[in-house]
Amino acid sequence: MIELTTDTIDVARVIEAVRSPKAGAVVLFLGTARESTGGRAVRSLEYEAYDAMARAELARLEAQARATWDLVDCAIVHRLGEVAVGQTSVAIAVSAAHREGAFEAGRWLIDRIKEVVPIWKKENRADGSADWVHPMIDLPGA
Amino acid sequence: MRIRVRLFAVARQAAGTDSVEIELPEGADIGQLRRAMAAGVPGLGAIVDQLRFAVDEEFAGDGTKIPPTADIACIPPVSGG
């Protein structure tokens, strides 16, 4: 299951999407909006996606994870638009026969999402400033 | 050939628009597009080496030839999660 949504992520629904009698383990990862970055207070995060490609990349990652760890099921939901501090920005649930594969697949999925899925985050700060977060780029004036 | 390139996040912000049109010779590759955008799109020159490109929703290296009708996007370093 792959979803991009501007709505609040229903974490229970993400877990239920992967629960199965074939599974002995379900692992859930949540990314949540932190209240500060680099000592600066954050009011909210704002996510933008290249929608079609993000879905395609997520589907490729899901397929690769299913094949590598013999997953029973996999669900990835990423939030777009404004996400208030404390709210969930991404939820990843995987189920597998045994916990080792579920933990490894969950860890691998969030790491790869942060490398290849075309989704970007902007930090809206408490002081009114806002910047896109781009690992590897030092923006002039940022 | 004239191709439209989608822009996102900091690239969109730097260029002040969500897509640009770039004129390239037939058979041009992504490397040529990269250089043309650095030269022709205000604000992109400083970050052009960090940009990746996608052809029809898949990452494409600088050696990839650009099909004339392809969907081309400029992908700044991603920061989802």
Question: Among positive and negative, which fits the CA dihedral B68, B51, B40, B6?
Answer: positive
Q: Is residue A20 part of a domain?
A: yes
pLDDT in tens, B37-57: 999 888 888 888 999 999 999
- The ipTM, to two decimals, is 0.94
Give the pLDDT band (50/70/90) at residue A141.
Answer: very low
> Is residue B16 one of the residues assigned to a domain?
yes
Query: For residue A24, what is the domain's CATH number?
Result: 3.90.1170.40
Q: Measured between beta carbons, which residues in chain B are less than 8 angstroms from residue A2?
A: none
Under the banding of pLDDT at 50, 70 and 90, the label for residue B73 is very high
Q: Residue B52 corresponds to which amino acid? A: R
Dump the DSSP string for A62-106: HHHHHHHHT-SEEEEEEE-EEEETTSEEEEEEEEESSHHHHHHHH
Q: Using an 8 Å Cβ cutoff, are A10 and A91 in contact? A: no
How many domains, chain A?
Answer: 1
- The CA–CA distances, whole Å, from B24 to A64, A123, B35, B59, B66 equal 36, 36, 11, 19, 10
A100: domain range?
2-127
Domain of residue B52: give its range.
2-75
- Do β-strands B2-6 and B72-75 pair in parallel, antiparallel, or remain unpaired? parallel
A136 falls within a domain: no
**pLDDT score of A142:** 38
Sheet holding B2-6, edge to edge: B19-23, B2-6, B72-75, B52-55, B58-60
Residues of chain A contacting residue B80, judged by C-beta atoms under 8 Å apart? 47, 49, 54, 78, 89-90, 113-114, 117-121
Q: Search chain B and give the residue with CA nearest A52.
A: B57
Those residues with Cβ within 8 angstroms of residue B49's Cβ, 6 or more apart along the chain or in another chain: none
- CATH number of the domain at B60, please: 3.10.20.30
Task: Assess if residue B81 is contained within a domain.
Answer: no
Q: Which of A90, A137, A140 is closest, CB to CB, to B76? A: A137
Q: Do the domain assignments include residue A140?
A: no
pLDDT in tens, A102-116: 999 999 999 999 999
Answer yes or no: is B80 within a domain.
no
Residue A44 lies in a domain: yes
What's the pLDDT score for residue B46? 84
